[in-house]
């Protein structure tokens, strides 16, 4: 008699944001046991770390680890320094160039931590909420970067040398924000717990940074009520 197969583990880079939470729901839909990894990197929007904890509880993840890597020592981004976060930028401006909210090396560091965690817990896959449609200015969200990272991990880890190749799954890569939100609704993701703002005002999203504007447009285009509390509506 054949029993129920044991689900494979998946390490999910879970920021507490909309994209990573929908990505986690897709990993669960794909039959994986969820191992969440959240990185506290000294970001000014540290509220997202607490949101990740609340989401992990709400989604009954198997394990949730928070790792601290203080990128404020390096700086170079509005998210890790006192540089002002851009506000009220029109979509045409947001779609050109690399914004000051880009954190040098962030996704490379995050994926490296996730790969180490995956090797330890025996997970063959990392789920990563990268998206090239809404964040086209971020070079570390491109498919070329993900493919290159997979090759580096294969060459530089014990798992890789033992032919246990680690895969990076980025299911949102070419989705619009509206499609991501609609997917979240279908999968019963607690969207009201997610946080996207780069420069929150207390517990409220600012409503004016690039991330807030993209989120607001996404909910509008998806035809879904936005549950976010904004300081500016």
Q: Diameter of the chain by CA atoms?
A: 62
Per-residue tens of pLDDT for the chain, all 233 residues: 445 556 799 999 999 999 999 999 999 999 999 999 999 999 999 999 999 999 999 999 999 999 999 999 999 999 999 999 999 999 888 877 889 999 999 999 999 999 999 999 999 999 999 998 765 568 888 899 999 999 999 999 999 999 999 999 999 999 999 999 999 999 999 999 999 999 999 889 999 999 999 999 999 999 999 999 999 87
Q: How far apart are CA 218 and CA 4, in angstroms?
A: 39
Q: Which residue has the tokens 């004016």?
A: 208
Strands annotated E in 72-142: 125-127
Residue closest to 46 by CA, chosen among 76, 16, 67: 16
What pLDDT is attached to residue 6? 66
SS3 155: helix
Contact 55, 190 (CB under 8 A): yes
Structural domains in the chain plus CATH codes: 9-196 (3.40.50.620)
What pLDDT is attached to residue 52? 98
Whether this model's pTM surpasses 0.85? yes
What pLDDT is attached to residue 97? 82
What pLDDT is attached to residue 161? 92
Give the angle subtended at the CA of 170 by the CAs of 4 and 204, to the nearest 5°: 105
What pLDDT is attached to residue 136? 53
Q: How far apart are CA 43 and CA 56, in angstroms?
A: 20
């Amino acid at each position: 008699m054949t029993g129920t197969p044991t689900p494979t583990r998946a390490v999910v880079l879970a920021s507490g944001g909309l994209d990573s939470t929908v990505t986690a729901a897709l990993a669960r839909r794909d039959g994986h046991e969820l191992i969440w990894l959240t990185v506290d990197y000294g970001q000014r929007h540290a509220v997202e770390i607490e949101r990740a904890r609340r989401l992990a509880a709400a989604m009954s993840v198997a394990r949730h680890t928070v790792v601290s890597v203080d990128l404020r020592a390096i700086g170079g981004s509005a998210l890790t320094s006192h540089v002002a976060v851009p506000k009220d930028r029109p979509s045409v401006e947001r779609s050109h160039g690399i914004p000051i909210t880009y954190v040098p090396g962030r996704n490379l560091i995050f994926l490296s931590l996730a790969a180490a965690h995956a090797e330890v817990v025996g997970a063959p896959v990392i789920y990563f909420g990268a998206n090239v449609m809404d964040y086209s200015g971020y070079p570390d969200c491109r498919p070329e970067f993900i493919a290159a990272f997979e090759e580096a991990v294969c060459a530089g880890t014990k798992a890789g040398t033992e032919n246990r190749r680690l895969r990076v799954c980025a299911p949102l890569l070419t989705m619009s924000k509206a499609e991501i939100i609609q997917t979240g609704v279908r999968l019963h993701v607690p969207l009201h717990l997610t946080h996207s703002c780069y420069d929150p005002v207390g517990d409220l999203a600012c409503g004016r940074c690039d991330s807030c504007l993209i989120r607001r447009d996404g909910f509008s285009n998806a035809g879904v009520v936005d549950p976010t509390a904004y300081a500016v509506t």
